[in-house]
């Protein structure tokens, strides 16, 4: 099994894992404990329209800030206050990345690393690709380290060198914690009052949820 790691753009037609640690991937994993389905949408306007039509909870952010008029933002802590059948979610990076993928798409992060790695290996026939969402097209260290945590559960597969580098970088939990807390994304979230979200997103393997993106919606994949 070939396993690769890329930034933002996906080339796989087999299985991909979208990694947006701060915070879309983590929020999506948590939200599947409270909603049957999540509809990720690129634009706020379209998200608003879909939520109105489906009588859904509306969540979203731009540059970390909750979009005005939405029920909530992109917070894995805040989303736990809501329950319903459908959640409509729009984020700066993660939802945009998924929309461009042509493979079977899973969502991964620190909180479901083992579960999503296992699901990917079960679903894939030849290739697994991890796609870091980054921040507005730029590398984000938290996604690289989150991908490394997922990849550490695939070391019996054929990891490309970039993927192996992510595994090595994620081996020391204290170093990972420090680097994520000092990341550009973390500093931004702290500035706007979401520092607790960063700590939450660093929790490892607290969820067995594996979000699977098919037909423009996310549902929990059952092994």
Q: Which residues in the chain are classed under CATH 3.90.1560.10?
A: 2-23+99-214
Cis peptide before 83 (omega within 30 of 0): no
Residue pLDDT tens, the chain, 223 long: 999 999 998 889 999 999 999 999 999 999 999 999 999 999 999 999 999 999 999 999 999 999 999 999 999 999 999 999 999 999 999 998 898 898 999 999 999 999 999 999 999 999 999 999 999 899 999 999 999 999 999 988 999 999 999 999 999 999 999 999 999 999 999 999 999 999 999 999 999 999 999 999 999 998 7
Pairing of strands 217-220, 127-132: unpaired
Q: Does domain 2-23+99-214 have CATH number 3.40.50.170?
A: no
**Residues 6 or more apart from 23 whose CB is under 8 A from it?**
74, 75, 76, 91, 189, 194, 197, 201
Q: Report whether 166 contacts 41 (CB < 8 A).
A: no
Supply 138's token pair: 């730029």
Positions of E strands within the chain:
2-7, 15-19, 35-40, 57-62, 65-66, 84-90, 104-108, 127-132, 158-159, 211-214, 217-220
DSSP per-residue codes, 64-87: TEEPTTSSB-S-TTGGGG--EEEE
Could you give the CA distance from residue 43 to residue 157 in angstroms, rounded to a whole number? 37
């Amino acid at each position: 099994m070939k396993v690769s790691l890329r930034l933002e753009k996906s080339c796989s037609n087999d299985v991909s894992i979208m990694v947006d640690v701060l915070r879309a991937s983590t929020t999506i994993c948590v939200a599947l404990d409270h909603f049957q389905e999540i509809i990720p949408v690129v634009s706020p306007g379209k998200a608003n329209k879909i939520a109105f039509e489906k009588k859904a909870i509306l969540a979203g952010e731009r540059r970390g800030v909750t979009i005005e008029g939405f029920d909530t933002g992109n917070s894995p802590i805040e989303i736990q206050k809501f329950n319903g059948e459908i959640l409509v979610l729009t984020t700066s990076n993660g939802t945009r990345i998924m929309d461009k993928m042509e493979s079977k798409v899973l969502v991964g992060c620190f909180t479901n690393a083992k579960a999503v790695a296992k699901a990917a290996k079960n679903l894939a026939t030849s290739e697994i690709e991890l796609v870091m969402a980054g921040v507005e097209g730029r590398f984000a260290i938290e996604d690289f380290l989150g991908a490394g945590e997922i990849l550490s559960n695939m070391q019996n597969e054929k990891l490309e060198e970039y993927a192996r580098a992510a595994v090595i970088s994620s081996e020391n939990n204290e170093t990972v914690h420090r680097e994520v807390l000092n990341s550009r994304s973390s500093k931004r979230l702290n500035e706007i009052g979401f520092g607790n979200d960063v700590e939450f997103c660093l929790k490892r393997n607290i969820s067995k949820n594996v979000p699977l993106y098919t037909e423009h919606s996310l549902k929990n994949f059952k092994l």
